[in-house]
Amino acid sequence: DYIKQKLIDVAIPKANKVRELVKEHGDKVIQEVTMGQVLTGMKGVVGLMTCTSKLDPEEGIRFRGYSIPELKEKLPKMHDDGEPLPEGVFYLMLTGEIPSDDDVKYISEQWALRAQGIPTHVYDVIEALPKDAHPMIQFNTAILAMSTESQFRKAYLVGMDKKDYWDPTYEGVMDLIARLPIIAAYIYRRVFHQGRHIQADPSLDWAGNLAHMMGHDSEELRRLMRLYMLIHSDHEGGNVSAHATHLVGSALSNPYYSFAAGMNGLAGPLHGMANQDVMHWLNKLKREIGSEDPSEEQIKAYAEDTIRKGRVIPGYGHAVLRKTDPRFQVQLDFANKYIPDAPYIKLVNRIYNVVPGVLTATGKVKNPWPNVDAISGSLLTSYGIAEYPIYTVLFGVSRALGVLTQLIWDRLYGLPIERPKSQNLQWFIDQVD
Ligand code: CMX
């Protein structure tokens, strides 16, 4: 595997640098932290080192320095006018370099190969769950069940030098990423298509295959799936799914345990489950107004009512972003290119015209603009994937690319167990007395 050798070459000087920073500059003060920051979710507190991507409040996400529009231009594609292959962003996050067509092809082939051989007990575990168990319950259970395959655990038991931990981690990560689309499609077909499963087509790319196994085979939908898998792949280190994966991984839990932890976080309504909740909000709006085509005035009144009832408007707001999420914008561009007249897209646009004003008027929402989840479900629905509970699973398949790449890097850097200090309420009171 030439990628492994490449990784060693890139990583050794960086790992040495990390050791040097700790040893020579460990006492350097880098930040002041306020009481408010600690008590409101540690926003802005630099407590993690993540190299796969970085989030700018105004500009949005950059993967190893490249914005989404830049990636659309630079990463290899299946078709010139199509979307970049997610294999490419994985390679970029892993090695720090823009891949060639051959690199991307190699990863596609590796994943197709590694996708084979999911043990039968994983399917048995899924089948043991009720069909109406939320797909995220089934997805996360399957991820844990797959951890019987962990190379890391086996190698650790045999006994291994710390500096080699990254190697079985890499193996586990590659296997896990390769297998997630099969698991996601299996759950989708089990729950929503009477268990009529569709075999993988090893000649297809990773995301195209996912669309195929879900039973949605149009070229346009494959393109949408490639885009979806690209843009959800990473969002810096402090978001719940990335942070949870990293935290659990810091105990040397294997990639399956670590990723399952991240996915349990993604299943929360303030994080990845928001994409499903947006659709519920939107359909309830239509039902309550009694129209398939609500006006801006009607949407405004409905949004104000949501706020009055003490609820959040899903798909809007962000803990870091302070502008329209470029991940929202790129999906809107896709919709405008292929399906500008789709009713759901029209509705998304109308909501976009109204909701930021409603949120701003509350005087407390720090970011009134749409995030990635404000449109993803409407796009998928417009293409016939109208089973909302699968949306967070799709988000999860994509998120594996970033958080698991970072897990390999955590091992390459030799990062230790994470153990921040906590204090009780009296301690905080004492700080101001
Ligand atoms: N609708 C209503 N109120 C909102 C809001 C929204 N979309 N976004 C923020 N607020 C409220 C907060 O609930 C908070 O209210 P209180 O002070 O009464 O508790 C206040 O505005 C300040 O919050 P904030 O600092 O602006 O936002 P946070 O960093 O605390 O939370 C987020 C960020 C994303 C959880 C929040 O904006 C939200 O709940 N949005 C809706 C859910 C959503 O779309 N989540 C997906 C995010 C992207 C992802 O991870 O997938």
200 and 303 fall within a common domain: no
119 and 251 part of one domain: yes
Q: Is residue 237 part of a domain?
A: yes
Residue 6 is assigned to a structural domain of this protein: no
Question: Quick one: 317 and 240 in the same domain?
Answer: no
**Predicted pLDDT at 433:** 86
State how far the Cα of 411 lies from the Cα of 4, in Å rounded to an integer: 13
In whole angstroms, give the CA distance from residue 211 to residue 372: 20
Q: Does residue 38 sit within a domain?
A: no
Checking if the pLDDT of 368 tops 90, the result is yes
Q: Is 365 in the pocket of ligand 1 (CB under 6 A)?
A: yes
Asked if residue 48 is part of any domain, the answer here is no
* 16-71 pLDDT, tens digit each: 999 999 999 999 999 999 999 999 999 999 999 999 999 999 999 999 999 999 99
Task: Give the tens place of pLDDT for each residue, 91-142.
Answer: 999 999 999 999 999 999 999 999 998 999 999 999 999 999 999 999 999 9
CATH label of the domain that carries residue 348: 1.10.230.10
373 assigned to active site? yes
The alpha-helical segments, DSSP class H, found in 26-119 are 35-39, 68-74, 86-95, 101-114
Which of 235, 316, 358 has most ligand 1 atoms within 8 Å of CB, for mutation? 316
Give the long-range contacts of residues 152-155, CB within 8 A, separation 24 or more: 152/252, 152/254, 152/255, 153/254
Shared domain for 293 and 242, answered yes or no, is no
Contact 375, 328 (CB under 8 A): yes
Active-site hit among 243, 271, 277, 410: 271
Q: By alpha-carbon position, which residue is closest to atom 36 of ligand 1?
A: 317
CATH of the domain at 111: 1.10.580.10
In a domain, 36, yes or no: no
Whether 276 is in the pocket of ligand 1, judged by its Cβ within 6 Å, is no
Confidence of residue 360 (pLDDT cuts 50, 70, 90): very high
Q: Across residues 240-246, what is the average pLDDT? A: 98
How many angstroms separate the alpha carbon of residue 2 from the centre of ligand 1? 44
Atom of ligand 1 nearest to the CA of 315: 44
Q: Is residue 356 part of a domain?
A: yes
Let me know if residue 221 belongs to a domain: yes
CA-derived radius of gyration, the chain: 22
**Is residue 1 annotated as a catalytic residue, yes or no?**
no
Q: Which of 338, 367, 382 is the last residue of a domain?
A: 382
Residue with CA nearest ligand 1 atom 16? 364
How far apart are alpha carbons 312 and 314 in whole angstroms? 6
Residue closest by Cα to atom 25 of ligand 1:
366
User: 162: burial class by Cβ within 10 Å (0-12, 13-18, 19+)?
Assistant: exposed
Both 155 and 282 in a single domain? no
pLDDT in tens, 191-210: 999 999 999 998 899 999 99
297 shares its domain with 404:
no
Q: Is 235 in the pocket of ligand 1 (CB under 6 A)?
A: no
Whether the CB of 231 sits within 6 Å of ligand 1 = no
Residues 312 and 170 in one domain: no
pLDDT single digits (tens) 392-414: 999 999 999 999 999 999 999 99
Tell me the residue range of the domain where 212 lies. 101-271+389-413
Say what percent of the chain tops pLDDT 90: 99
Is the CB of 316 within 6 Å of ligand 1? yes
Q: Do 228 and 293 belong to one domain?
A: no
Instruction: Output the residue whose Cα is nearest ligand 1's atom 8.
Output: 317
pLDDT tens, position by position, 252-265: 999 999 999 999 99
Q: How many residues does the chain have?
A: 433
- The separation between the first and the last C-alpha atoms of the chain, rounded to the nearest angstrom, is 60
| pLDDT at residue 176 is higher than 90 | yes
ipTM over 0.95: yes
User: Which atom of ligand 1 approaches the CA of 239 most closely?
Assistant: 50
Q: Are residue 162 and residue 234 in the same domain, yes or no?
A: yes
Q: Mean pLDDT score of the chain, rounded to an integer?
A: 97
Residues 191 and 235 in one domain: yes
Report if residue 40 sits inside a domain.
no
Residues 314 and 233 placed together within one structural domain of the fold? no
Residue 148 has pLDDT above 90, yes or no: yes
101 carries an active-site annotation: no
Same domain, 245 and 111: yes
How far away, in angstroms, is 374 Cα from ligand 1 center? 13
Whether residue 318 has its Cβ less than 6 Å from ligand 1: yes
How many folded domains does the chain comprise?
Answer: 2
| Confidence at residue 202, expressed as pLDDT on a 0 to 100 scale | 86
